[in-house]
Amino acid sequence: MTKAPVFVKIDKDNLNIKSLANRSQDLGKSGTNKKEVIELEGKVVENLPNAIFRVQLDSGQTVIGHLAGKMRVNMIKVMPGDRVVIEMTPYDLTKGRITRRMR
């Protein structure tokens, strides 16, 4: 087993050594943490352009949801009246990602 090479970037202004092994941290990107995702069920009320849907949650709240990438790739059709599972972040509770169509 060989180790991947670790590159080192030298910041000439402050002479700080930064490791580029974890580039996502250096670029300020953070992946979606599964702990931060809220999954809710709802019913599709209306189709909007570009695979966007208006979904009414079981609590009565209406949110905007877009299809997840795997649903687009597998060409899963979502129609008004379908029950769906929508993932939302705690930062914006008016938008979400449709991850599953229920039967």
Q: How many domains does the chain contain in total?
A: 1
Q: Which domain holds residue 51?
A: 34-101
Pairwise CA distance, residues 41 & 72, whole Å: 19
Contacts of 81 (CB under 8 A, 6+ apart): 43, 44
Q: What is the overall mean pLDDT for the chain?
A: 80
Instruction: Give the whole-number percent of the chain exceeding pLDDT 70.
Output: 67
Kindly report the pTM of this predicted structure. 0.66
Give domain status of residue 51, yes or no: yes
Residue type, 53: F
The pLDDT-based confidence of 52 (bands split at 50, 70, 90) is very high
Give domain status of residue 11, yes or no: no
Give domain status of residue 95, yes or no: yes
Strand partners, 16: 11
The pLDDT-based confidence of 3 (bands split at 50, 70, 90) is low
For residue 54, is pLDDT > 90? Answer: yes
Condensed to tens digits (0 to 9), the pLDDT of residues 4-47 reads 666 555 555 555 444 444 444 445 555 555 678 999 999 999 99
Give domain status of residue 71, yes or no: yes
Query: Which CATH number belongs to the domain containing residue 57 in this structure?
Result: 2.40.50.140
Longest dimension (CA), the chain: 60
